[in-house]
Structure formats: C-alpha cells, structure tokens
Amino acid sequence: MAVPYRSLGSCLGLGLESTAGTAVSRTKWCHLNGSSLTQTPRNRATRGRLAHTSAAFVETRFVADEQVGGTVTVPGSYSALGMLLRAALGTVSGAGPFTFAAASALPSLTIEQLVGTSGNSEVFAGCKVNSMTMNATPGSEVTFAFDIIAQSKAAASSAGSPSLTSAVPIEHFEVTVTWGGSSLGTIKSLSSVLSNNLNRRPQLGSLRTAEPSVGVREVRTTIVVDKDSFTPRSSEVADTTGDLVITCTDTATGAKTLVYTIQDCTVKVSETIGESISDLTTSIEFESIGNPGIVLTNGEATYDA
C-alpha cells in the first residue's frame, strides 16, 4: 500500500502579474501554515422532463461553472509578506520603509502551491485577494490568512525549486495596539479582517470568472480585552472615532516593524457577566470608515524581500 503524501514542506511561490490571468514566473516563496486553494466544479441538474428517468429521478447533469480559489494562511513575517500585502491593499511606495496603501485597482498574482511531499505543485493564475485576516493570540505566532479568487488552475506538475528565506516571524508578544492614541489595556485576542468583497464575473465561452471586480471595501477588527474600566462602553455611547494602530516590532533588533493603521474607527461593545467567578472581558468591534494602510520596515532593499 502506498504511503500517503504529507504536508511537510508545503509552501507558496508568488509572482506579480502584468496582465491579470496570464501566469508569470514565481519570484518570491513563503512558508505555508495551511491552504484550501483548489478548483471546484459546480454540477447542476438539467431541467425539463427529458433530463429525468421514467421514475422522475435526475438522469443527467452538466457543469455550470468552475470556481477556483480558497484561503491560504501564512505565518506573520517582517520580510515575506510584501507581495501579499500589496495584493490585498493595492499599491506600495517608498524605498524603505515601504508604504502599502489602499487603491481600487488590485494587482493579481500567480501562485504556485507546492503540495507537501508529493514532489508536485499546482499553479493558479489571476489570483486576487478577496480578504485579508490578521490574527494574534497569546502564546501563538501572528498569522495572516488571505482568501483568494483565481481565474485558472493548471494541472499538477513537477514542483519548482522554492527559495525560502529565513524570514523573521512576528510573535504575539511583539504586538501593541492603540486606538485614538491610547492603549486598550490587557488584550486577550485580536482579529482584523480587510474585506475587498470581490465580485466573480461569469462569462459566456468559459466556465471560469473573468477578472474579479472590487466591491465596497471594509475593515472590521475584533479585540477582546480584560474589563477593567467602562471606557469602551462610554466611547460607544459617545460615538467616538479614532485611528486603530496595530504595531509589531521585532524584539531581537528593534529594526524591523510592521505598523497597520486603520483610520476613523468607531466601536461596538459586547460584554457578558458569567455565572462562575472569572475575569470579565470586553469584546470590542472596530468598524472603519477610512482607508487602511501598512508601513513595513524590513531592513531590505525591496518590499518583497
């Protein structure tokens, strides 16, 4: 009996496309925590009595469309995220520090997914970031999850030769958060979701979407803190607005930073008093009505080093 493939060694190769949907060589590789990136055919039953058996059961089906995409989760890093951050936000400028800014036109990527110990990889073209989620909890490394909508996937073939750099990870103890310039106290967890709300564009002559278009974008961040004051509730009642700033600083050298600024956030507070004797917490949802931006200092010559 054959030994099954293992996920050991799985990674992602990234290339910035000049024409959306036309695959390019991969110029950057990054480690992978998990992936659901795949191609899924959608079967639909045909209509009409000719499509059924004499006993009225469905007899034939046809493929209505093929959806290509999924979510890739990568470890947070000061030097391996640049191309994905650009794809999520839109543009990048500067010669270091590098500023990633929101733009309505999003770039597309070619993504090569090396499938563990299989020795094979799958290449996805026309990849656009539908959403980006930053997660941080005590005791864990910071992760970024990118929900991808792609235009095509090539059949599995021999994998390329990944060139993985020793990227400096972002650890949970390197994260600080302020809102309106003030600390939020003791933070238990953080999850920030940038939603680009891409629209698939079905087309005649193809089972797959044309280049996805950007919908109404939004950023929502949920932070759970120890309840040691009534300030969050008072801010909600007063409809206070402030910039939410998530700062990550490499503690080894202090030379590498990632500063995520989410402008003009209001808050919505959820609190529950439990039945047992335990610490009380406050869940704060920040909703932004401004543009997000990320400033990355990686100590390298390029943003995607």
Q: Which of 305, 287, 289, 285 is nearest to 297 (CA)?
A: 305
pTM metric for this prediction: 0.90
> What is the b/e burial string over 51-83, where b = at least 16 CB atoms within 10 angstroms of the residue's CB?
eeeeeeeeeeeeeebebbbbebebbbbbbbbbb
d(CA 75, CA 145): 9
Burial label, 216 (beta-carbon count in 10 A; 0-12, 13-18, 19+): exposed
- Encoded tokens for 301: 């010559």
pLDDT number for residue 54: 67
d(CA 10, CA 41): 24
Each residue's pLDDT tens digit in the chain (305 positions)?
665 656 667 789 999 999 998 999 999 998 889 999 988 877 665 665 555 666 666 667 777 778 889 999 999 998 889 999 999 999 999 988 999 999 989 999 999 998 766 778 899 999 999 999 999 999 999 999 999 999 988 887 877 777 777 778 899 999 999 999 988 888 999 999 999 999 888 888 887 888 888 899 999 999 998 887 667 778 888 888 899 999 999 988 878 999 999 999 999 988 777 666 677 888 999 999 888 999 999 888 888 87
Total Cβ atoms within 10 A of residue 159: 20
Q: Which of 9, 14, 8, 7 is nearest to 112 (CA)?
A: 14
pLDDT number for residue 72: 96
Q: Which of 126, 106, 113 is nearest to 19 (CA)?
A: 126
pLDDT number for residue 157: 80
pLDDT number for residue 125: 95
pLDDT number for residue 200: 86
d(CA 245, CA 247): 6
pLDDT number for residue 112: 93
Measured in residues, the chain has a length of 305
